[in-house]
Each structure stands twice: as structure tokens, then as C-alpha cells.
Amino acid sequence: MDRNELSALTRVFSASVIRDLGRWGQSPLLARLLKSSGIAASAASDAPLGKVIDQAFDVLKAFGNRDEYVYRSAITQKILLGRHSLRTAAILNEVRVGPSRADVVVLNGTSTAYEIKSERDSLYRLASQLDNYRQVFATVNVVTSPKHASDVLRCVTEDVGVLVLSSRYRIQTLREATDSPERTSPVAVLELLRTPEAVTVLNALGVEVPRVPNTQMRGSLKEMFSSLDPVAVHREMVSTLRQSRSQSATEKLLSEVPKSLHAALLSAKLDQTAQSRVREATVVPLDVALAWS
């Protein structure tokens, strides 16, 4: 598998493909990617598109080919959908924390951030990323490849969990993360919250919401949050976001489309119509899909 084929495979699971499928029920980009990655040639022409996409994922998840999506998918399947469910936990993708972006955050009883360091990534920046996540999430993990495992263990602090996606596509825990909501910073947590969510948190804590014009709202919230108890703010942040960012409405869709697409669908925001377009697209025979233009 050469570099171009691999990069085409990576884009099969990109947000643009999902957006196209949701919007139009078809994606010329996906058709091109299936051709240029060589997947189209190796699949039966009457195979349903969903099955072909699964085949693409199987190639991508082979040891040595893995990109960030494979890791994201492993976390989605084995942790979010394996241990929890979309009714009890919410998953956030690419969460901006200061100048960094946490790849995956799971909210159930607590908040857990996962930073992905695939075999294609470098570990440069890891320490500063984790410092940022510690201020917002009670539990912080790095999910990495066997290649990086010993370096990661060496360069991250004791409280950070280290997980390895094994060559056989299993998640192994090298070190458990500690759950430490007390080290979070309410002001940093506030950055994660939309204004109505921040108001919900204040209400839950019995704190009076500032009555100011909307241009001064964030400033006032920041002032208030800075004097609140980190553990209490973190607890209410988790319970607020579990509801406001819940993806339980996506649960049915996930049961009807191939597993390899789950992580991509969970990071897309699709309404009912878009969901049914995606569902219908996955049963289209490959030769029909390849003619999309």
C-alpha cells in the first residue's frame, strides 16, 4: 500500500464525505477515494457500499497503516459503546482546550480525555497538551501505538493513563489514570461551556446568574467561576454536558450502519433527514456509488 492509497483511505472517513452523504445521499469524493485507494478494484461490484467501507477500514487498521481515525474508532467501539452507551455517556470530538484540541472526551460519571498519538504522530507537544487537559478533565489518557508506548510512559506524569492499541487492535492499559477533579480549574472548564450550559451549571450550584447585557456575560461568568469549588464545577459540567451534548438520537442510526463509520458519524452533526440519507447510501451497490459525480 503506497502513501497515496493510504491517504485516500484516511479521507474515506473524513468529515467531508459524511457531510456529502448527509446532504446529497451521495459523495463523488468518496467514489474517487475508493478508486484511488485501490479498494474499489478489490471489492465485488454489487457489494453494498457499507461493506466496501468496512473493507477500507480493515486495510486502514492493519498495523503500520493506522491513522488517528483508527484510534478514534477503537476508543468509540471499545470504550464508549463497549463499556458505556450513548444513553448514559456523551462523546465529544476535537475539544478545544486553550491552544490544544483533545481528540476524544467521554463524559459519564466523570470526564475522561483521550489524546491520540498514532504511529504516524510525533510526541512533540504531548506534555503541554496534557497540561491543558488536566485543567479541564478529571481523567486524562494517552492512547498510543506499541512503538511510542515506552516513550509516552517516560514523558508523562504519573496521573496520566497510558493505553496502547495493540497490533491485534486491542486496547491494553499500561497504566490506569487517576480521577482527580480537584485539580481542574473552573475558569478553564468554563471555556468548554456554551453560555446556556454555564448558566445550567450555576443554577445547579445554587449560584445566582449574573444579570448583565450579553456582551458582558462571558466576563461576568468568568469572574463568578473563578471563585467556585473545582470539584463541584467539574461535577456539574459533566452532568450538564451529558445532557446538552447527548447523542442518544444517533444510537438508532449506529445500529443500522457499518461499525467502521460509527466514530465518523458521532463527530458529525446530522439531522433526521441527513441520517436517513447516510443510511440509504450505505446499502447502495458499489458500482452505483462509483458512478456518483
Q: Which residues bind other proteins (CB under 8 A)?
A: 96, 98, 191, 212-219
Closest separation between CB of residue 31 and other proteins, Å? Answer: 16
Rank residues 35 and 96 by Cβ distance to other proteins and give the closer one: 96
The residue count of the chain comes to: 293
Closest separation between CB of residue 9 and other proteins, Å? Answer: 26
Rank residues 90 and 97 by Cβ distance to other proteins and give the closer one: 97
Rank residues 82 and 219 by Cβ distance to other proteins and give the closer one: 219
Instruction: Please work out, in degrees rounded to the nearest 5, the angle formed at the alpha carbon of residue 34 by the alpha carbons of 29 and 40.
Output: 145
Closest separation between CB of residue 218 and other proteins, Å? Answer: 4
Rank residues 214 and 227 by Cβ distance to other proteins and give the closer one: 214
Q: Judge whether 265 and 254 are in contact, CB under 8 Å.
A: yes
Q: Which residues contact 65 (CB under 8 A, 6 or more apart)?
A: 1, 6, 9, 59
Rank residues 142 and 187 by Cβ distance to other proteins and give the closer one: 187
Residue of 20, 7, 55, 29 lying closest to 290 (CA atoms): 29
Closest separation between CB of residue 124 and other proteins, Å? Answer: 21
Q: Judge whether 27 and 293 are in contact, CB under 8 Å.
A: no
**DSSP code for 260:** G
Residue of 128, 89, 109, 113 lying closest to 266 (CA atoms): 89
Amino acid symbol at 108: N
Q: Judge whether 186 and 221 are in contact, CB under 8 Å.
A: no
Rank residues 170 and 269 by Cβ distance to other proteins and give the closer one: 269
CA 106 to chain centre: 8
What are the two backbone dihedrals, phi and then psi, of residue 274, each rounded to the nearest 5 degrees? -65, -40
Rounded to whole angstroms, the Cα distance separating 241 from 201 reads 10
Closest separation between CB of residue 28 and other proteins, Å? Answer: 10
Closest separation between CB of residue 222 and other proteins, Å? Answer: 9
Rank residues 174 and 217 by Cβ distance to other proteins and give the closer one: 217
Closest separation between CB of residue 240 and other proteins, Å? Answer: 17
